[in-house]
Amino acid sequence: MIARTIGLSKAIVALAVIGVSLLSLSGCGNTIRGVGRDVGAVVDATQDAGHSVANSVK
C-alpha cells in the first residue's frame, strides 16, 4: 500500500514538473516572438528614415 502511494506521489510530481516546464517554454516562445517583432520594427523605421534623408537631399 505504501509503495503504491509513493509511486502515485512521484507520478503527480512528475506531471506537475512537466506542466510547469511547458508553461515556461511557451512564455519564452512569446518573448522571442515579441523581440522579433521589435527588431523588425526598428529595421523598418531605420529604412524609412534613410529614405526620408535620401528624398530630402534630391
User: What would you report as the CA-atom Rg of the chain, rounded to the nearest whole angstrom?
Assistant: 25
User: Is the C-alpha dihedral spanning 19, 21, 22, 23 positive or negative?
Assistant: positive
Quick one: pLDDT at residue 46?
A: 93
What is the distance between the alpha carbons of residues 5 and 30, in angstroms, rounded to a whole number?
38
Domain ranges of the chain: 24-48
- pLDDT tens profile 8-54: 888 889 999 999 988 888 878 778 888 889 999 999 999 999 988 88
Q: What is the pTM of this model?
A: 0.52
> How many Cα neighbours within 13 Å face the side chain of 8?
5
The distance of Cα 4 from the centroid of its chain, to the nearest Å, equals 39
